[in-house]
Structures are given as C-alpha cells and as structure tokens.
Structure 1
Amino acid sequence: MRRLARRYGSGQEAIGGGQRLSRVFSRALAVLLLAELMLGVSGGRLLAQGDMLQQPDDPAFLPWQEEVGPVDDDAGQSGPETPFDPERLALMAELRVGIVMDPAAGDFGRAAPFRELLEEGLRIPVLLIAYRDLSQLQRALVGGEVHYAPLSASAYAAAQGECSCLEPLVAPRPPDGEAGWHAIALARAGEAIEAPADMAGRRIATGPRDAVGSRLVQLAGIADAGMDLEQKAASLIAHDDPLAAALALVRGDADVAFAWSSLQGEAAAGYSRGTLRDLAERGAEIAGLKVVWASGAIAGAPHVVRQDVPREIRNLLLEVMTGQGAAEAVSDDGFVAVGAQDYAPVLAAFPPEAGVSRGRLRPLGGGD
C-alpha cells in the first residue's frame, strides 16, 4: 500500500521554491497520487497509523512532495541543501493543517500553494489533511488531530465552545476595507420598537433555526441586554434566509426581523452589503425600516490555530499569513490579524460546553 503522506526522519526536505525541489516532478507525483486516490488506493488516518486501511469517512492526506536530491546549477555544481530549521523542529516536528475538501473532486492544486507558503515561512514540515465535511474538521481541531484550519466565524465559535482551545489568527482582508459585518434587528419606522425591551410580545421573523447571523447572534445578544426573546416574544418564526425574514416584516407579517448588514456606506441604499442592500436591489422600500439593535462588528472567516501550538510557531504563522505571499498564494486581498474579540458576538451564541457543532466552512480565503 502506498502512503499519501510521508514523514522524514532526517528532519530535512526541499521547500517549495527552493533549489532541492523539482516542481515538475512534484506536480507529476501529485497527479499520480490523485489518480490513485480516485481509484480507491487508501492512506492512513494518522501518520502513525499508515498501515491501516482508510475508511470512507477518514481524512485523506494531500499529496506530499517526495524528497529529491539537490538540483545541479548551470555550472554543474550541486546546489546547497535547504534544511528545515533545527530549532523550530525542536519546538514542533510538523504542522498539520486541516481543510474541507472532497478528495475525489481532484481539487488538490488549489491547496498546494497554501501548503508551500506555510512550509517556506515556518521551515518545518507542513502536512495538509483533507476532511469531507465540517463536522469532521471540527472534531479534528478539538481532538488535536490537526493544529490549524481555515474556518468560518460560526465554525470557529462552535469548536471553541466545545474545547476552549483555539485562537483565531487571521481573516481575509475585506476588498472594500470594511471592518466586518453586524447581526441586526429591523423594525418598521413608526412602530414603538426602539430597543430590545420593546420586543417583548412581538412577532419575530428570523433566518433558519441554526442561522448564526440571522438568529443565534441576535438571540444571544438581545438576551445579554436583558430580553430573553425565546421566553418573551409572541413568536419566533424561522424563514429560509434573512431576506425572507425581512420581507415578512415589510409585508406586515412580523414586527421585528433578524438580518445582517455591514452598516457602512450609504444608509439610503441599504449600506454596502447585507439584507437591507438585498431588499433595495429588489425594489423594496427600505425607507420605512429602521435598525433597532446591532451586534458589534464580526470579522471575516478566520484561520484558527490550536493554543497548544508553541507561541513562536503561532507568531510565525501570523507573520507568514499577513505577508504579501499570502495575498499571492491564498487570497488576492491578503489577510489581517484578528483575535477572539473580533468574534465576541458569535462566541456568545456558542457558550462553552454547549455541545453544539454548527457552522459553515468557506473555501480557502473566503469570507464568512
């Protein structure tokens, strides 16, 4: 059985872009290994379990570049070896990065620059592990099977609520320079609803029952303000999405609607992004609506690292991911540093030990 991942006892390997790596060879190897994946060749769940057959729901290791000899330069001399950093290897033998990707989809090429970027910056081996769905990736993070993963705000909050072991590191830089997005509550202008206390006994239209930005954040935030709508609202009516909830408010079928917005830009146009903007673009009259509650700003989809990763490695990850290389390899607009405070409204919706795994994962570099 051929493994899809390989650990080198020497602690040395050519780094992508270095003189020891033959890119043509590694790409050809990736194609061959991908073909094996799609034909059913199994790999180990963990490197220490490489001889065990992979089950359908097990993660798949993305193709790992084989070690090759130094490339001869034009003068016929062998180029110098580029070892991993021994001091960093002493801190951490490898960094395991989890992503959601169906191995059968054959989309490995999209993730390769991400791995190469991290390995070049950290100078320790970086292993990408693909999981078929978000719940598997969350379990892997919580259980320590992977150290680092790009998530959504809600996926991070759900996992953090289970283990209190994660740290958001970076998030994609918004192309428009905005700080993030807000969960909001809307009411009709002229109605005697100005604050959470006025929502008691009212009909509340929300997004789906497990929607973070159009239900869970509002319920948690408004409860923190002293109004438990799950107990005191006349009704909480779930809709397919926040736009449908807002349309129920416009029609008069609800007194309050939960939605989301950037709260930046021209208010009369519905701001730059969000449910009010969607309403305006569909020709709905938004001048008769008002924002009666808003959460703090919520940053975009975070890249999350386990807190038991050595601080020096975490600092290096931050340096790498906020550098120009990340903009070229992962997200065109680059990344900005974030912290738990940038997700406080979402974290409040997933209190510790809630035992709930929810959230959605976006592609590498995507927004929430």
Structure 2
Amino acid sequence: MKKLFLLLVLVVGFVFPQSVIAAQGGQVQPDRLRLGVVVAADDTARDRVEPFRQALEDIADLPVDLFLMQTMADGIEALASGKIDYIRLSPSGYAATFQLCECVEPLVTAGPDDFPARFYAIMIGRRGETPANLENLRHQRLAVGGKHAVAGYRVPVANLAADGIDVREYFDALVEVRNPVEGIRAILDGRVQASLGWSSLAGEAKNGFTSGTLNDYYLSGGSGFEDLEIIWRSPPIPYSAHTIRSDLPDVLKRTVRAGLMDLRREQPAAYLAIEPDLPGGFEPVGHADYRPVLRTYEIPSSGGGTAGVQ
C-alpha cells in the first residue's frame, strides 16, 4: 500500500501542469499576455512596437497578443474592464484607471535622461528683496492653465490643497493662460504675481533645469529669466506608468518588472519602441509614487470660494 501511495503521488505530480501547481492561493498563470498600446493616428504603430512585443514575450515566457488603442481613454477602459492585461499609461491615465477599478498597479516608469525619472508641478514667482513664499502671495493673482490641464492646474491645485491651501480662497484671482510660458510672461509684465508650471528640477538651475516651463522660457530667449524663482513644488511625479492588472500572479508581475528594468541595456531597440520620447531607461515604481496625481480625484473639479478662473 505504501508503494502504491508513493506511485500515485508521482503520477499526480506529472499529470498536473506547473501552471496549476503555481495556482495555489488562486493565482493561475495565464496562457498568454494581452498588451495594449495607444497609437492615436500612427498607421505604422503595429510594426513600430513589434520589437517590444517580442521582448515582452521573452520576458514573460508567454505569447503576447497586441491590441492597438486609438486613445488613452480606450486603453484605460480596456485595462479596467479586463480586456487587456498591460499597457503604458501617463501618470494621469494610471490615476484614472485606478479610480475606475482599483484593479491595477504600476511596474516601472521611464525617464528622459540619466537623472531620476520624476518631474514636479511648480509655482513660479518673481525674485524680490525678500525670498518669495506662499505667505507673501496671499490675496495676489495666480496664473493657471485650463481646469483639465494636469501640471498647469489639477496636480498643483490638489497638492496645494493637501498642504492646506485652497487656491480659490487663498488668491484674489486665478487668471487662465494659454500655456505655462505665457504665465511666466504674465509674471514679468505684472498681470499676475505667480504662475503654475512644471519642471524636472534636474540639471543646472541657471538654464531652467533640463526640461519644463523654466527651461522652455530660457530656450525661447525671453528677457527677465534671472528674475524668476520657484516658490512651491509638488512631490515628485513619475513620467509614465507601465501598468498591469493586479489579479495577475505576483511571480509574473515580478518577472515582467525585472525584465523591463534590464530592457534598455539588453535590447535598446525594444525599449525605444515603447518609450521613444523617454530614452533614459526604466525605474521601478509603486502605487504610492502616483499619489500627487491620485489626489486630483479627491477634490471637486470646480469649487466655491472667492477666486474664480478668469
């Protein structure tokens, strides 16, 4: 009987596939991975992202099916509804998806250079005899982007609120500008006392850092650049969010993250196929890294107070 029992154990071990054995705790290894890519009007997208799809197959050791999405909204809906398993999103796209289903998590973010892959929403003011600060801006005029602008309105408004400042009550007026560089011009010509924008806060401050509103104004050759200074900054925000369904096996998510971390070094063409505008490589991220953007869903899109957007 003992020999028969041992024989049955061996038989069961061979009959049940490894995917079932790995499914303990309810996490079943999928048969394939469904990759979504937002392509807009790019007719060459399927060929362009093929190196990344192939690399992801090698990383996950699974067949990868490619689904092309016309818009970010399409990608968000597909991921939240379970039609796809993985997609590269913007930070606000990740926050929107999590708001819909709380069924996703980020794996990595990409950066534009060798500096940390983060940027900041900032408030810019004019340098004076005393250091500029938020207290000195109370009851002044603030230039902002449209109410749907992420770095020019939503993120700074939400994170200032987290610091205890309701911009609609704190400032006498919120003056809407077409873009953050116009906001800088509005500071310098006296229309406003501060303006919202964004910055990498990496590299040389004298050049407006490596990228962002100050750098754009510096490169434009506008006068008065030396009179500008940063008054407030948000917590750091990742540039992108390679996002995966949370219900996939933890071992698969760890494997994919590890493979992505090595992708720029081992397969640069595959890396650039998915991140052509952020060539600096991947860094690991977690849900908490997107807190500055997640906060934008914790405030009303429009509010009361005495300061309206003009």
TM-score over 0.5 for the pair:
yes
What are structure 1's unaligned runs of at least 5 residues?
1-83, 356-368
Please name the residue that 2:4 is paired with: none
Task: Indicate which of 336, 356, 365 corresponds to 2:283.
Answer: 336
| Partner SS, residue 252 of structure 1 | coil
Contact 1:206 1:215 in 2 (8 A): yes
Task: Indicate which of 143, 148, 168 corresponds to 2:106.
Answer: 168
Give me the CA root mean square deviation: 2.5
Which amino acid counterpart does residue 39 of structure 2 have in structure 1? M
Please name the residue that 1:213 is paired with: 151
| Partner SS, residue 181 of structure 1 | strand
TM-superposed CA distance for 1:342, in Å, is 2.5
| Partner SS, residue 287 of structure 1 | helix
| Partner SS, residue 349 of structure 1 | helix
In structure 2, distance between residues paired with 1:106 and 1:327: 19
Contact 1:96 1:148 in 2 (8 A): yes
Cα distance per residue 1:329-365 (max 9 Å; x no partner): 123543221122322212212339x89xxxxxxxxxx
Tell me: CA distance 1:192–1:347, structure 2 relative to 1, closer, same or farther (3 Å). farther
Q: How does 1:198-209 map to 2 (within 5 A)?
A: 198-209=136-147
TM-superposed CA distance for 1:85, in Å, is 7.6
Equivalenced residues, count: 271
Please name the residue that 1:276 is paired with: 214
Please name the residue that 1:37 is paired with: none
| Partner SS, residue 321 of structure 1 | helix
Residue 309 (structure 1) aligned with residue 223 (structure 2) = no
Cα distance per residue 1:69-107 (max 9 Å; x no partner): xxxxxxxxxxxxxxx985679511221111112588243
Tell me: CA distance 1:336–1:85, structure 2 relative to 1, closer, same or farther (3 Å). farther
Cα distance per residue 1:168-219 (max 9 Å; x no partner): 1111243232342111001112287844344432211012321111211111
| Displacement over 4 Å in runs of 4+ | 84-90
Contact 2:110 2:117 in 1 (8 A): no
Q: How does 1:235-254 map to 2 (within 5 A)?
A: 235-254=173-192
In structure 2, distance between residues paired with 1:155 and 1:108: 22
Which amino acid counterpart does residue 330 of structure 1 have in structure 2? Y
Contact 2:261 2:284 in 1 (8 A): yes
In structure 1, distance between residues paired with 2:43 and 2:268: 25
What's the TM-score once normalised by structure 1's chain length? 0.67
Please name the residue that 1:99 is paired with: 37
What are structure 2's unaligned runs of at least 5 residues?
1-16, 273-278, 302-310
Tell me: CA distance 1:309–1:351, structure 2 relative to 1, closer, same or farther (3 Å). farther
| Partner SS, residue 348 of structure 1 | helix
Q: How does 1:1-368 map to 2 (within 5 A)?
A: 86=19, 90-102=28-40, 105-190=43-128, 194-283=132-221, 284-323=223-262, 324-331=265-272, 332-351=279-298
Contact 1:199 1:229 in 2 (8 A): no
| Partner SS, residue 96 of structure 1 | strand
Please name the residue that 2:7 is paired with: none
| Partner SS, residue 184 of structure 2 | helix
In structure 2, distance between residues paired with 1:343 and 1:102: 24
| Partner SS, residue 182 of structure 2 | helix
TM-superposed CA distance for 1:225, in Å, is 1.1
* Higher helix fraction (1 or 2): 2
Identical aligned residues as a percent: 30
In structure 2, distance between residues paired with 1:351 and 1:285: 37
More displaced 10-residue stretch of structure 1: 199-208 or 240-249: 199-208
| Partner SS, residue 202 of structure 2 | coil
Contact 1:96 1:128 in 2 (8 A): yes
Larger relative contact order (Cα-Cα within 8 Å, sequence gap ≥ 6): 2
Which amino acid counterpart does residue 120 of structure 2 have in structure 1? H
Cα distance per residue 1:266-287 (max 9 Å; x no partner): 2222122211112122222222
Contact 2:46 2:68 in 1 (8 A): no
Which amino acid counterpart does residue 342 of structure 1 have in structure 2? D
Tell me: CA distance 1:102–1:221, structure 2 relative to 1, closer, same or farther (3 Å). closer
TM-superposed CA distance for 1:114, in Å, is 1.3
What's the TM-score once normalised by structure 2's chain length? 0.79
| Partner SS, residue 263 of structure 1 | coil
